[in-house]
Amino acid sequence: MEEQSGPPTYDRIGVGYRRIRRPDPRLHALIGAALRGARTVVNVGAGAGSYEPEGAEVTAVDPSQVMLDQHPGRRKVKASASQLPFPDGAFDAAMAVLTVHHWPDPRQGLAELRRVARRQVVFTWDPAHRPQLWLMEDYLPEIRELEESRFTPLAEVVEALDAYTVLPFPIPHDFTDGYQAAYWRRPELYLDRTVRQASSTFATLPPEVVEPAVERLRADLASGEWHRRYADLLDREDMDYGYRLIVAGEPAGE
């Protein structure tokens, strides 16, 4: 699903990715509506193929062979977002799901989406959004620093795409796709190393940073401190942590 400069992160952490990063039907429906009517779609930073539309001819692009090997499709291309090997207007739509922050040149990659497709659908995170996940605030501020350094500000993505729609996606409490904020109401899952390794942020930070924070969380869960501190979250059905779907180009259904 994601890419970066140099050896792709997911060549290292991508084995078994699909077990933890299971597409959530609610996000799938949101992305599917934005792609409605597109017969040919290029999925840039495709990874294992999450959220691709049914019924469309999808071409998966990713720089990681490990991730492409897990992709179930037949049309797979190992390439960078910054240099898509397709002619102008080759696709009805281009999609990019939680990947722009890994591109070596986000503006060039977004320009490539506009060049090769008549519609662009991008799911990303707004680093300026508040509140942020409690994990960043109280346990691992290093995550916040890393994420804010690599995520392109939402306004810049919107401007680069000349987008006409920005849709919020509050994360359901039972969200199935194990990206970083998925377990906001299930904190015990952050104690699982396998769950953490499916997140590029956790995989990027050194163990000497992550492990002490995880142990503090473990202690707070055992003592009940976490539940006292975050009691207001326990009855919520979803939380808006700044994830956004951006739609640009040719409107859906046309």
* Alpha-carbon distances of 108 from 23, 74, 103, 206, 224, rounded to whole Å: 27, 27, 9, 30, 47
Smallest Cα–Cα separation from 13: which of 102, 94, 124? 102
Q: What is the pTM of this model?
A: 0.90
Q: Is the predicted pLDDT of residue 20 greater than 70, yes or no?
A: no
SS3 93: strand
| Domains delineated in the chain | 9-249 (3.40.50.150)
Q: Is the predicted pLDDT of residue 11 greater than 70, yes or no?
A: no
Q: Structure tokens of 116?
A: 């090769």
The pLDDT confidence band at residue 145, using thresholds 50, 70 and 90, is very high
- φ, ψ of residue 8 to 5 degrees: the values are -60, 135
Per the CB < 8 A criterion, the answer to whether 102 and 45 are in contact is yes
Q: Is the predicted pLDDT of residue 18 greater than 70, yes or no?
A: no
Q: Which helix (H) or strand (E) holds 9?
A: helix 9-13
Helix axes 154-161 and 106-116, enclosed angle (nearest 10): 30
Cα 55 from Cα 64, distance rounded (Å)? 25
Model confidence pLDDT, tens digit, residues 72-131 = 999 999 999 999 999 999 999 999 999 999 899 999 999 999 999 999 999 999 999 999
What is the structure's pLDDT at 10?
47
* Alpha-carbon distances of 63 from 7, 49, 111, 126, rounded to whole Å: 9, 14, 18, 24
What is the structure's pLDDT at 14?
44
